[in-house]
Amino acid sequence: MRLEQQFRRLLTGPCGVRAGTGIAVAVSGGPDSMALLHLLAAARTSLQLELAAVWIDHGLRPLETPLEQETVAAAAEQLGIPFLLRQAAVAPFAAEHGLSIEHAARELRYAILHEAARTCGLDLIALGHTADDQAEEVLLRLLRGSGRKGLAGMSMRSGTLIRPLLRTSKQELLNWLEHRGIPHCFDSSNKDRKFLRNRVRHELLPFLEQHFDAGIRNALLKTADSLAADEALLEELSAEAAEKVLQEEGGTLRLLRQPFRLLPPALQRRTVELLLWRLGSRADYEHILLLIEAAHNGRNRSELHLSQGLRAGIFADWLEFSYPVGQRAWRGRLLA
């Protein structure tokens, strides 16, 4: 009973689910998502939830997916929940866009889940990420050189995405499923060591637990929670800073140099990052540093050439951003 109570508390607390909410549940057939589906079904009556189970065939494991589809469809029927089947052509999408299979699968999966929620008029999308997934994610992001925002890990709620199991361990879910006799499947690709996440899961984390700290997973979760709290404050301060130093005039975005220079360095970096996102540009670390330097010491009527045709014109009082020929690479100068 403890798991059900914790789940409902997190669902209505950090996940922000209110009575009458419609939720598309991403269900692969694995233990985490099957537990998620059954726990949401258990909370359905008291919270007046509208649920739909979304199962996606990624076209990657034809020998395993029929059983997974059957398992999810049977559970949805038993629980009286609509079952939505969707297809994702991952391999062609990956080849077309130059992505890894893992990256392509993730992009398509999220796009399909959002489409399914819109089609069914549902408010939120529930994902089965667990505390173990969070620990792995923090390590992955550390290996990739993420900053504070990345190391804060996944959020219990991010926009329309909710992760009610993010503070529950996989073992706790497995025990709960076994106790209730709930069938589930295991994805063989989760053992494939060519994926970095699997190497972190099966090699790096066990090595750290054995040779450094048996409680490394909890330590990573505490770090993520602490950084998430700091990140929330920094986001608020960054939004306030952006109001002071960013100016939109006639469709042109400007960064005002004098008030920008007065910001603490941490807010300068975050404000430039926000500016680049607003312009639809990649917020590369090198570009952020270039723009900060230009705001401090840039020569009047010089310019910076950024990605995909973005230009930053440097003037005495501001930096001015534009795509003179649209969002595509070009070699021309903005300022004569």
Asked if residue 6 belongs to a domain, the reply is yes
Whole-number pLDDT of residue 172: 96
What pLDDT band is residue 335 in, cutting at 50, 70 and 90? low
Q: pLDDT tens across 138-150, in order?
A: 999 988 877 777 8
Of 171, 206, 223, which one is at a domain's C-terminal end?
223
Which distant-in-sequence residues (6+ apart) come within 8 Å of 295 by Cβ? 255, 257, 260, 261, 268, 319
Asked if residue 232 belongs to a domain, the reply is no
Same domain? 258 vs 129: no
Same domain? 133 vs 86: yes
CATH number at residue 212: 3.40.50.620
Residue ranges making up the domain that contains 272: 250-322
pTM given for the model = 0.80
Length of the chain: 336
Same domain? 131 vs 86: yes
What pLDDT band is residue 303 in, cutting at 50, 70 and 90? confident
Kindly tell me if the per-residue pLDDT of 126 is higher than 70: yes
283 or 143, which is more confident: 143
Kindly tell me if the per-residue pLDDT of 3 is higher than 60: yes
Whole-number pLDDT of residue 278: 87
Q: What is the 3-state secondary structure (H, E, C) of 97-151?
A: HCCCHHHHHHHHHHHHHHHHHHHHCCCEEECCCCHHHHHHHHHHHHHCCCCHHHH
Kindly tell me if the per-residue pLDDT of 296 is higher than 60: yes
Asked if residue 280 belongs to a domain, the reply is yes
Same domain? 139 vs 73: yes
Q: pLDDT tens across 242-278, in order?
A: 999 999 877 789 999 999 999 999 899 999 998 888 8
Asked if residue 294 belongs to a domain, the reply is yes
Q: pLDDT tens across 169-183, in order?
A: 999 999 999 999 999
Q: pLDDT tens across 181-230, in order?
A: 999 998 888 888 888 889 999 999 999 999 999 999 999 999 999 998 88
State the Cα angle at 183 between 177 and 186, rounded to 5°.
95
Q: pLDDT tens across 63-92, in order?
A: 899 999 999 999 999 999 999 999 988 888
CATH number at residue 264: 3.30.465.60
Same domain? 44 vs 99: yes
Whole-number pLDDT of residue 330: 67
Same domain? 216 vs 254: no
Same domain? 75 vs 155: yes
Whole-number pLDDT of residue 127: 97
Of 223, 240, 268, which one is at a domain's C-terminal end?
223
Whole-number pLDDT of residue 324: 76
Q: Among 42-56, 86-100, 198-212, where is mean pLDDT lowest?
A: 86-100
Which distant-in-sequence residues (6+ apart) come within 8 Å of 145 by Cβ? none
Same domain? 207 vs 258: no
Amino acid at 141: R
The whole-angstrom separation of Cα 59 and Cα 290 is 43
pLDDT > 70: percent of the chain: 97
Same domain? 28 vs 123: yes
Domain count, the chain: 2
Asked if residue 229 belongs to a domain, the reply is no
Same domain? 210 vs 259: no
Asked if residue 303 belongs to a domain, the reply is yes
What pLDDT band is residue 327 in, cutting at 50, 70 and 90? confident
Same domain? 189 vs 267: no
The whole-angstrom separation of Cα 99 and Cα 116 is 24
Asked if residue 237 belongs to a domain, the reply is no
Tokens of 211: 């040779």
Give the closest residue to 85 by CA, choosing from 77, 95, 96. Answer: 77
Asked if residue 72 belongs to a domain, the reply is yes
Mean pLDDT of 22-36: 97
Kindly tell me if the per-residue pLDDT of 12 is higher than 90: yes
Same domain? 175 vs 294: no
Q: Among 4-8, 101-105, 155-159, where is mean pLDDT lowest?
A: 101-105
